[in-house]
Structure 1
Amino acid sequence: MAHRALVIAMLPAIGLRVLAVLGFPPSILFYGDSFAFLREELTPGTTRPSGYSLFLALLRPAHSLTLVTVLQHLLGLALAVAVYALLRRRGLPGWGATLLVTPLLYDEFLVLLEHMIMADAIFIVLITAAIALLVWRVTPATAAVGGALLGLAGITRTVGLPLLILTAGYLLIRRYGWRPLVALLVAGAIPLGAYATWMKVEKGKFGLTEADGNFLWSRTMSFADCGVIKPPERLAVLCPNMPVEQRPYPPYWLWESFSPLLKVPGAANRNQLAGEFARQAILAQPVDYLGAVATDLTQLLRWERTGAEEKTPYKLPTSERPLSESVRGVAESYESGPAATRVVEPFAGWLRAYQRFGYVPFPLLMLALGGALVAALVRRRWDALLPGLAALALVASPPFLAAFDVRYVIPAIPLICLAVGLTLGGSREGDQAAKRERETLNVA
C-alpha cells in the first residue's frame, strides 16, 4: 500500500484525540476568552475579532461543545493529510512525507488547541490550507480561494493579516501575472471588508478590533520611562507607576487592577490613547524596545515548553473547576446543559502524561525553520520560501506587537513542516510546472 506509513502514523494520532474527547468532556475552556466567543449575541469583538464566534454560531443549533471539539480534531487530522499529499506530489517518499507531518499528528499543543474552545485550531487550518493551496498550484481560482481563506484567518486572529500581504508579495515577485494577484487580494478583502463594515455599523469605526493600541502599549510596559518619553498631559495617565524591574509581564497590564489603562474611559478612546503612547515610547526608546523584543524571543531557546512547576493555562487540568457565575450562563446556554470541563480518569491521566514529552522542542523547531529558509535559497526552492517566511512572521511578530506566548508559536508548526518538505522534495518538476503556469497566465 502506497500510503502505509501514513495510515500507521494516523492510528495513534487518532487515539490521542480520542483520549482528549473521553478524558476532558465536553471541551477545555480557556478563561475568559472561550466565553467571549460563546456568547449568543454576535457582535464584533473589542479585544479580538469574532471570526471564531461566527464558526461557533453555525454549530450552536446542535448545542454540543463536544461536536465543536470533534470537528476541530478532524480538521487537524485532515490538515496533516493535506500536507502529506502535497509533499508526496513534490516527490517525497511515503515514509519521508509521513515523518514530516508527524508534528501535526502528535504535538501535544496542537491536540490541546483542537480540544479548546479557542480560535487557534481554526486559524491554523485556514492559514496552512491557504499557503499549501498556493504552493500546490497558482491559478486565478486557487489564488481566490487562498485569499478568501487568509481573509477569514484575518477575522479569526489579526496576526493573520500580514500573511495576506506576504502572499501577495510572493505572487508579485514570482511573476505569476496580474490575474492571480488581483484574485487573491479581492477575495481576501471580501471577509475583511465585510467584518470592518460590521464593526462600523455596530461600533462606529472601521476596523477589526478596538485593542491593537492596547496590546502595543502593554508591550512598552516592559521598558517605558516617562522621564525619557515626556508624553503630553493627556497621555501621562498611561505612564507605569512601578520600577521596570518590578513590572509584570506585558499581558497583565491589559486587565489587572493596577494597570493605568483601566483609568481611561471608553474602549475606542482607550485604544487610541494607548496606541499614541506606545508609538511615542518606541520612538523615544528604540533600543529598549528592541531589547524587550529580543528578551522575549530568547524564550524560543527553551527546551521545555513549560516547566514542571510553572503556572500556565496550557496544561491539561488535573481536577474539575466549576464555572463562575459570571460566565456559567454563557457556556451552559451554548451546551444547553452543564458545560464545565470534566476530568475523566484514566483517560485524562494518560493524556497528561503524554503532554510532558509529546512535543517538538522550540530550539529544534527554529533550527528546522532556519535550515529550510537557507536551503530554499541555496537550492532555489522558491515555493518553500512562502511557508517558511509565513512561519517566521507568525513566530517573530507577537513580541513586537504584544508579548511572547507559547501559544502564538504553535500555528507555525505546520508551515515549518511544509517548508522543510518542499526544500527536500524534487524541485525540477515543480519549478517547470510553475514556469508553465506563469507563461500560460501571462499569455492569457
Structure 2
Amino acid sequence: MAHRALVIAMLPAVGLRLLAVLGFPPALLFYGDSFAFLAEEPAPGTSRPSGYSLLLALLRPAHSLTLVTVLQHLLVLALAVAVYALLRRRGLPGWGATLLVTPLLYDEFMVLLEHMIMADAVFVVLVAAAITLIVWRVSPTTAAVGGLLLGLAGITRTVGLPLLLLTAAYLLIRRYGWRPLVALLVAGAIPLGAYATWTKVEKGKFALTEADGNFLWSRTMSFADCAVIQPSERLSVLCPNMPVEQRPYPPHWLWEDFSPLLKVPGTANRNQLAGEFARAAILAQPVEYLGAVVTDLGQLLRWERTAADEKTPYKFPAAERPISESVRGVAESYEGGPAATRVVEPFAGWLRAYQRFGYVPFPLLSLALAGTLVAALVRRRWDALLPGVAALALIVSPPFLAAFDVRYVIPAIPLVCLAAGLTLGTGTPFRGERPQPRHRREAVEVA
C-alpha cells in the first residue's frame, strides 16, 4: 500500500479526537468568546470579526455543538491529508511526508482547539488550505479559490489579512502573470468587502472590527509612561494609573474594571482615541515598545506549553464548568438543551494525561521554522518560502499588535510542516505553474 504510513498514523490521531468527543461532550467553551459566537442573531463583532459566527449560524438548525466540534476535527484531519498529498507530489517518500504531518495530527493543542467553540481551528484550516492549494499549482482558478479562502480567514481572524497581501507579493515576485494575481485579489476582496459592507449597514462604518486601536493601546500598557509620552488632554484619560512593574498582562486592560479604556464613552470614539494614544506611545518610547515585543516572543523559548499548576483555559478540564446564568440561554438555545461541558471518565482522564506530553515544544517549532527558511534560500526552494514566511508572520505579529498568546502560535504548525517538506522534497513544482519567459518559448519553437 503506497500510503500505509499515513493510514497507520491517522488511526491514533482519529482516536485522540474520539476521546475528546466522548470525554468532553458536547464541546469546550471559552469564557465569553464562545457565547458571543453562538448568538442567535449574528452581528458584526466589535472586538473580532464574526465570520465564525456565520458558520455556526449555518449549522444552528441541527442544534448540536457536537456536530460543530466533529466538523472541526474532520477539517483538520482532511488538512493533514492535503499537506501529505502535496509533499508526496514533491518527491517525499510516504514515511517522510507522514512524519512531517504528525504535529498536525497529534499536537494536543490542535485537538483542544478543534473541540472548542472558537474560530481558531477553522482559521487554521482556511489559511493552510489556501497556501497548500496555491503552492500545489498556480493558475487563475487555484489562485481564485486560495484568495477566497484567505478572504474568509480574514473575516474569521483579522491576523489573516496580511496573508492575502503576502500571497499576492509571492505571485508578483515569482512572476506567475497578472491573471492569477488579479484572481487572488478579487476573490479575496469578495468576503472582505461583503463583511465590511455588512458592518457599514449595521454600525455605520466600513470596517472589519472596531477594536484595532484598543488592542494596540493594550499592548502599550506594558511600558507606556505618560511623563515621557506627554499626551494631549483628550488622550490623557487613557494613561495607566499603576507602576509598570505592577501592571497585568495587556489583554486584561481591555476588559477589567480598572482599565481607563472603559471610561471612554462610545465604541468608535474609544477605538479612535486608543489608537491615537498607542501610536503616540510607540513613537515616544520605541525602545520600550520593541522590548515588550521581544519579551513576549521570549515565551517561544519556553519548553512547556502550560505548567501543571498553571491556571489557563487551555487545558482539558477535570471537572464540569457551570455556565454563567447571563449566557446560559445563548448556549442552550443553540444546543437545544443543556450545553455545559461534561467530563466523562475515563476518556477525559486519558486525554488530560496525553496533554502533558503530546505537543511540539515551541523552541523546536521555532528552530524548525528558522532552519527551514534558511535551507529554502540555500536550496532555492522558493515555493517553501510562502508557507514559511506566512508562519513567521502569524507567530510574530500578535506581540506587535496586542500580546503573545499560546493559541496564536498554533496556526503556524501546518505551515511549518508544509514549508519543511517543500524544502526537503526532491520534486519540482507542477509543470506549467509558472509560464516560461518568451525568449525560452521561442528557443524551443526554433529547435
1:75 and 2:75 matched: yes
- Quote how far apart the aligned CAs of 1:12 are: 0.3
For 1:196, the equivalent position in structure 2 comes to 196
Instruction: Give, in whole Å, the separation in 2 of the partners of 1:331 and 1:439.
Output: 60
Q: Distance in 2 between matches of 1:2 and 1:431?
A: 21
Asked if structure 1 preserves the Cα contact closer than 8 Å seen for 2:175 and 2:434, the reply is: no
Partner of 1:430: 429
After superposition, residues 49-64 of structure 1 pair within 5 angstroms as 49-64=49-64
Correspondences of 1:184-263 after superposition (within 5 Å): 184-263=184-263
Aligned-pair distance for 1:42?
A: 1.3
- Structure-2 separation of matches of 1:279 and 1:287: 14
Residue-by-residue CA offset, 1:160-211 (whole Å, 9 max, x unaligned): 0000000000000000000100000000000000000000000010110111
Q: Indicate conservation of the 8 Å contact 1:30/1:116, yes or no.
A: yes
| 1:122-156 Cα distance to aligned partner (Å, 9 max, x none) | 00000000000010000000000000000000000
**Within 5 Å, which residues of 2 pair with 1:299-378?**
299-378=299-378
Find the counterpart in structure 2 of residue 164 from structure 1: 164
Structure 1 residue 426: Cα displacement: 1.3
C-alpha distance in 2 between matches for 1:431 and 1:201: 44
The TM-score normalised by the length of structure 2 is: 0.97
Residue correspondence of structure 1 range 21-36 to structure 2 within 5 A: 21-36=21-36
The answer as to whether partners of 1:88 and 1:94 remain within 8 angstroms in 2 is yes
| Residue matched to 2:104 | 104
Contact 1:214-1:274 within 8 A present in 2 as well: yes
User: Is the contact between residue 137 and residue 430 of structure 2 (CA under 8 Å) also seen in structure 1?
Assistant: no
Contact 1:47/1:211 (CA < 8 Å) preserved in 2? yes
Contact 1:72–1:121, Cα closer than 8 Å, also in 2: yes
Instruction: Return structure 1 stretches of 4+ with deviation > 3 angstroms.
Output: 431-440
8 A Cα contact 2:136 2:430, kept in partner: no
Q: Secondary structure at the match of 1:169?
A: helix
- Tell me how far apart the structure 2 counterparts of residues 191 and 430 of structure 1 sit (CA, whole Å): 29
* Separation in 2, partners of 1:396, 1:88: 30
3-state DSSP of counterpart to 2:429 = helix
Secondary structure at the counterpart of residue 195 of structure 2: helix
**Percentage of identical aligned residues:** 85
Q: Tell me if the contact between 1:9 and 1:102 (Cα under 8 Å) persists in the aligned partners.
A: yes
For each residue in 1:97-143, what CA deviation from the matched residue of structure 2 results, as whole angstroms up to 9, or x when unmatched?
00000001000000000000000000000000000001000000000
**1:278–1:83 CA distance, 2 compared to 1 (3 A):** same
Distance change (3 Å), C-alpha of 1:317 and 1:437: farther
Deviation at 1:435, TM superposition (A): 3.8
Q: Does 1:174 align with 2:203?
A: no
Question: Aligned equivalents of 2:305 and 2:414: distance in 1?
Answer: 18
Distance in 1, Cα, partners of 2:432 & 2:290:
42
For residues 146 and 320 of structure 1, the distance between their equivalents in structure 2, rounded to whole angstroms, comes to 40
Letter in 2 for 1:230: Q
What is the alpha-carbon distance in structure 1 between the residues aligned to residue 5 and residue 266 of structure 2? 56
For 1:111 and 1:339, how far apart are their aligned partners in 2? Answer: 20
CA contact (8 A) 2:196 2:208 kept: yes
CA shift at 1:431, angstroms?
7.4
Cα deviation for residue 438 of structure 1 reads 7.5
Q: In structure 2, how many angstroms separate the alpha carbons of the residues matched to 1:138 and 1:321?
A: 47
Match of 2:7 in 1: 7
- For residues 119 and 230 of structure 1, the distance between their equivalents in structure 2, rounded to whole angstroms, comes to 39
**Contact 2:137/2:429, CA 8 A, preserved across alignment:** no
1:134 aligns with 2:134: yes
Q: CA deviation at 1:311?
A: 1.2
Partner secondary structure for residue 235 of structure 2: helix
Mapped to 2, the partners of 1:238 and 1:24 lie a distance apart of 42
Letter in 2 for 1:430: P
The match for 2:409 is: 409
Alignment check: 8 A CA contact 2:19 2:347 kept: yes
Q: What amino acid is aligned across from residue 310 of structure 1 in structure 2?
A: E
Q: Distance in 2 between matches of 1:179 and 1:438?
A: 16
**Deviation digits for residues 354-390 of structure 1 (CA, Å, limit 9, x no counterpart):** 0000000000000100011001100000000000000
The Cα offsets for residues 259-302 of structure 1, whole Å up to 9 and x where unpaired, read as 00000011111111000000000000000000000000000000
How far apart are the structure 2 equivalents of 1:131 and 1:225? 41
Query: Is 1:379 matched with 2:383?
Result: no
Unpaired segments of 5 or more residues in structure 1?
none
Letter in 2 for 1:5: A
Taking the aligned partners of 1:109 and 1:212, their CA distance within structure 2 comes to: 27
Aligned to 1:397: 397
Amino acid at match of 2:38: L
SS in 2 for 1:387: helix
Distance 2:144 2:345 in 1: 46
Matched residue SS, 2:251? helix
Letter in 2 for 1:400: F
Distance in 1 of aligned mates of 2:331 and 2:248: 30
Query: Is contact 1:176–1:437 with CA below 8 Å preserved after alignment?
Result: no
Q: How many residues align?
A: 441
> What is the one-letter code of the residue matched to 2:224?
A
C-alpha deviation, 1:434, in angstroms: 3.6
Q: For residue 150 of structure 2, what is the aligned residue in structure 1?
A: 150
- The alpha carbon displacement at 1:437 in A equals 6.8
Q: What is the alpha-carbon distance in structure 1 between the residues aligned to residue 438 and residue 230 of structure 2? A: 57
Determine if contact 1:139/1:437 at 8 Å carries over to the other structure.
no
Structure 2 stretches lacking a partner, 5+ long: 443-447
- Which letter maps to 2:6? L
* 1:35-50 to 2 correspondences below 5 Å: 35-50=35-50
Query: Do the aligned partners of residues 87 and 325 (structure 1) sit closer, same or farther apart at CA in structure 2, a change above 3 Å counting?
Result: same
TM-score (norm 1): 0.98
